[in-house]
Structure 1
Amino acid sequence: MTNRLPDFDPSRATPEQKAVLDEILSGPRGNLNGPFLGWIHSPELAQHAQRLGAFCRYQTGLPLRLSELAILVTAQRWQAQAEWYIHYPIALEAGVPEAVAGAIRNGQRPTFDNADDALIFDFATELYEAKRVSDSTYSKTVDRFGHNVMINLVGLLGYYALVAMTLNVFGMRAQGQDSLPFAE
């Protein structure tokens, strides 16, 4: 699949598009890899989504390892090629064990050495499979992380589902991506 959107030429960007691009490039991401060059065709959506994404990626209250684990679960659930490609090395660097990431990519439940990793995996998996979270998983998550962080986790999962949908619908690949982690 190839990118279904018209090429974006930054030299022809509208003032609204330039404002979004400038904010993304000057923020913690510092690059346009991912859904941003898709969203830029709707600059108002792009601005709201990229700000939500910056919060979900950097300010949820979860350690980076757990955020990235949740993103990998999302990428696998949506078979989002670019999302996995971008976040897999970040997850490994953040401390997600390679065996855990590999099991997730293959749609299997990993063997966890860390209870927090298992809890995040269970929370995300239940939410994606059942469209709900059991009372038991809810209670464990609140007890461990508190309501605020759990609400942020739901936001993170929703945001990265939006990213995955964008990447999949428009056939977007990551910059430099030359392999696909999921069969098509």
Structure 2
Amino acid sequence: MTRQRAFRPEELDGERLELYRAVAAGPRAKGPFRLVSEEGVLLGPFNEFLLSPRVGDALQRLGAAVRYESGLSDRVREMAILVVAAAWDSAFERHAHEAVGRTVGLTDREMAAIAEGAPLKLEDPYEAAALRLTRAMVAGDVDDGTWASCVPPLEREAVFELTTLVGYYATLALQMRVFRV
């Protein structure tokens, strides 16, 4: 049973309408997955952002920064999002970001291994380190051995961006779980 209150655009005004437009017409709208239902309701975590427009707007701006302004490569970013989706069993994030993953060169085999938590041999040492570090984060901590094997090739700036990404997508997964989205 959903605990969601579906906000329809014709019901919105003020800050809620501004936030709706920022999500529905922002950079996410150009992606390979739907953001808006046939009825005009925001899909995935975005409808719940409208419950608290100021917090929701801050959250959507953080998400846009993580996706469109970080120094992480597209493949690293999408692998990390899919690791979080798998850890939280977040069907929306998995569906949405597998679609994005295909557009940035992730193979079905790679995405299946990520979803299953299976070993994945990546030729690029940077990608391999990012995957290992992200898996450690969602498991609870990055021990000294994992840190030493991942930094370098990852720079500390990339680790900061990865931790922010993991926290952001874990937040979305938690919200979708609580609101039964």
Give the TM-score band, short-chain normalised. Answer: 0.7 to 0.9
Residue segments in structure 2 that go unaligned for 5+ positions in a row = 30-34, 36-41
- Give the structure, 1 or 2, with the largest relative contact order (CA under 8 Å, sep 6 or more): 1
CA distance in 2 between counterparts of 1:144 and 1:60 reads 17
C-alpha RMSD of the superposition:
1.7
| Residue 14 (structure 2) aligns with | 15
Cα deviation 1:32-63 (Å, max 9, x = unaligned):
44211122112122101000000111112011
| Residue 120 (structure 1) aligns with | 130
**For 1:130-149, what aligned pairs fall within 5 Å after superposition?**
131-149=140-158
**For 1:98-177, what aligned pairs fall within 5 Å after superposition?**
98-129=108-139, 131-172=140-181
Cα deviation 1:94-143 (Å, max 9, x = unaligned):
112221111121232223233222211110111121x2212243344442
Following TM superposition, the consecutive aligned residue runs of length 4 or more in structure 1 with deviations greater than 4 angstroms are: none
Identity %: 29
Cα deviation 1:126-169 (Å, max 9, x = unaligned):
1121x221224334444233222221111001001111112222
Could you tell me the TM-score, scaled by structure 1's length? 0.84
Cα deviation 1:15-37 (Å, max 9, x = unaligned):
01011112223321124442111
**Cα displacement (A) at 1:67:** 0.1
| Residue 56 (structure 1) aligns with | 66
User: How many residues get paired?
Assistant: 170
**Cα displacement (A) at 1:12:** 1.4
Could you tell me the TM-score, scaled by structure 2's length? 0.85
- Aligned partner of residue 152 in structure 2, secondary structure: helix
Residue segments in structure 1 that go unaligned for 5+ positions in a row = 173-184
Q: Tell me the amino acid that sits aligned with residue 111 of structure 1.
A: K
CA distance in 1 between counterparts of 2:121 and 2:155 reads 25
